[in-house]
Structure 1
Amino acid sequence: MSVPGTHEYHWQSLAQLSSGRVYHTLSEIGGQMYMLGGCDAGGRPCPTLELYSPEGDRWIALPPMPTARAGAAVAVLGKQILVVGGVGEDQSPLKVVEMYNTEEGRWRKRSSLRETLMGVSIAVKDSRALAVGGMGADLLPRGILQQYDLRKDVWALLPPMPTPRYDANTHLLGNKLYVAGGRHCKRPMKAFEVYDTECRSWTMLPLMPCKRSYAGVIWDKAGRLSVLGGLRHGGGHQSSKFTKNVNTFDTNQGTWLKSEETVTMKTMRADFAAAFLRGRMVVAGGLGHEPSALDTVEAFHPQRKKWEKLAPMNFPRCSASSIVIRERLLVVGGVNQVPSSAHEILYVKEEEYL
């Protein structure tokens, strides 16, 4: 399969947010993008819900969430958006769960989680939400696996994950829920486990090759997981150790590819936008060894086995939220010294997006 050339990828600036935003959550229903919550420039969680309208290139304010929150987990169940946990106005984890009906345009309170949690990871299987892990009010990670039934409005406990963690990456592939990485307190985890939704059992997979936080995570259409870049060592900016390493796990073989089979990125970076777009892995922005946020973008060519530079982002930033909708990558908000109101799209086609 041929992939687009580097000159075919275009960035276009879209309507900016009304104010800078970070730690917000993006969701899609029917090709439309919704933005939920997040923190403002003062670090306060917001209750806002906004819909981006490409027709008028504008943001439309919808009824706000009953509970202001940042870093919430979100699941789409039909035409409804389930919002789970996150951090509330008092900077503590939340247990409250709310649901927005996009057809009725209103919020409903739903059954709460069993305890307050932030950093929950969520996936949807057969119209049920699977919420994995999280961090409690005691700042300790959880191994809990909870399943939400929309019809009954109940959370059921499923067998817990072997390795407690929060901020893990989850991906549903058939009947298998893969859970990669995550953190324990501030320490990154190498744990990699899979839950079989039919057998209701966990299996431990080969550990991730290296410990890192704020890495990019991309699942391609062949069922391969790639973990890209990230921060190998914390601390201040001067002592931070960024990496450009790429590790890829093949779910068919059940193994991580050997290092000679993978290709490192051109630029060391962490906390960047990452996506699979038109047959290529794409990474954009983030933090590196430069004193400010990056605007550089690169894409992997699978046939040439090399990373190639794309046009830079219009707005350098890290900690941005991103989502792929109809083969287009939207990058919203983030941080460049202060929370950013930038909103731009990367797409492959000759005519303009709007």
Structure 2
Amino acid sequence: QSGRDEQSGLTALLNNVSRPGIKDLPNEQTGILVVGGDCPTRGLRGMQQRMELYNLSTDEWHPTGSCDHRHGFGMCIVRGQLVIAGGRSSTTVHDGVEVYGEVDPAGASTWERVATLPVPVTGCTLETADGQLFVIAGRDGNLRLTNSVQALDMQTGEWWSFPPLITPRAFSASCMLNGCMLVAGGFDADKEPIATAEQYQMGKERWEPLPSMGTARAYATAADWNGLMVVCGGEGEDRVALRTVEAYDPLKRVWTPWPEMSMARSGCVVVVSDGDIVVM
């Protein structure tokens, strides 16, 4: 989906994968990187190590190293570095914060552990501002829902206190928008999707409620597109995957329905590349 209200497809991924991490790489590393996730038909047993890189100029996917088996981790770019945190394997909720390096000659990716989460979480989402990393909500090592926000100074490696969310949630959607951190949807303690949203304006030291989305959804994905928070897909009531898309306008404080995607997607991910919204 782009600003032209048109939909078109990219070449399919090499592997069928759900709930991976995905990011549009910095300019000097042009491409879209997909990390981990799980095989939709195998549950926790099907978690992926694979990483794939999409070349924007050739419209081709290439394998590029590997990561630990996991899903439910958060992923973002902090000052040009790709960072992942948390997540779950078949037996463990992870507590690591890792930075992605280069692929070595043998084809293996280099990941450097740079910090340990005070509270291991899965189903978290990651955002960044001014070199700080924010690990937002999720489920802890005992799979209990949390509203905590764990804040890390990536330069010093120190964790610092940050106000918790108003509403505990896991597998929510988030993005940075006009200097504010926005979080929407996710699962509640009963594993039901929610529509509530909230924002944190840097320096105010508190979260503020926002209007709820039109549709309750978890496993959705969000991006900042031209000053709007665009939320795509996810899982709605009765575990039904969604085709719907809606956008939040912070100036008007309203959610507006957008054209539906061509197919329903839960556990999808989104990047904005060359001005277009790319959902996978």
Letter in 1 for 2:177: L
Report % sequence identity: 21
Partner of residue 35, structure 1: 34
- Which piece of structure 1 moves more, 44-53 or 196-205? 44-53
Query: 1:299-338 residue pairs with structure 2 within 5 A?
Result: 319-332=267-280
Tell me whether 1:188 sits opposite 2:193 in the alignment.
yes
Instruction: State how far apart, in whole Å, the 2-side matches of 1:83 and 1:216 are.
Output: 16
Q: For 1:243 and 1:32, how far apart are their aligned partners in 2?
A: 26
Structure with the greater relative contact order (CA < 8 A, sep ≥ 6): 1 or 2? 1
Q: Call closer, same or farther: CA 1:117–1:196 in 2, change over 3 Å.
A: same
> What is the Cα-based RMSD across aligned positions, in Å?
3.3
Match of 2:94 in 1: 94
Output the CA distance in 2 between the equivalents of 1:69 and 1:128: 24
Structure 2: stretches of 5+ with no match in the other structure: none
TM-score normalised according to structure 2 size: 0.79
* 2:74 alignment counterpart: 73
Contact 1:45 1:87 in 2 (8 A): no
Q: Secondary structure at the match of 2:133?
A: strand
Conservation of the 8 A alpha-carbon contact between 2:149 and 2:163: yes
The 1-side partners of 2:241 and 2:9 are apart by 29
Amino acid paired to 1:147: A
Are the structure 2 counterparts of residues 176 and 44 from structure 1 closer, same or farther at C-alpha, using a change threshold of 3 Å? same
Counterpart-to-counterpart distance in 1, 2:54 and 2:232: 29
**Conserved in 1, the CA contact under 8 Å of 2:20 and 2:38?**
yes
How far off is 1:108 after superposition?
Answer: 0.8
Q: How many residues align?
A: 267
Cα 1:44/1:76, change in 2 over 3 Å: same
8 Å contact from structure 1 (residues 93, 137) kept in 2? yes
- Matching of residues 259-338 of structure 1 within 5 Å: 283-286=261-264, 319-332=267-280
**Partner residue of 1:23?**
19
Match of residue 205 from structure 2: 200
Partner residue in 1 for 2:170: 166
**d(CA) in 2 for partners of 1:56, 1:210:** 37
Q: CA deviation at 1:142?
A: 0.8
Does the 8 A contact of 1:181 with 1:192 survive in 2? yes
What is the distance in 1 between the residues matched to 2:268 and 2:219?
12
Query: Are residue 84 (structure 1) and residue 85 (structure 2) matched?
Result: yes
SS, match of residue 84 in structure 2? strand
Q: 1:109 aligns with which of 110, 113, 135?
A: 113
Q: TM-score, normalised by structure 1?
A: 0.64
Structure 1 pair 132/53, CA: closer, same or farther in 2 (3 Å)?
same
Structure 1: which 5+ residue stretches go unaligned?
266-280, 288-317, 333-354
Aligned CA distance change for structure 1 residues 165 and 49 (closer, same or farther; 3 Å): same
8 Å contact from structure 1 (residues 232, 243) kept in 2: no
The one-letter amino acid of 2:145's match is P
Task: Select between 210-219 and 139-148 the one with higher mean Cα deviation.
Answer: 210-219
The amino acid across from 1:100 in the alignment is Y
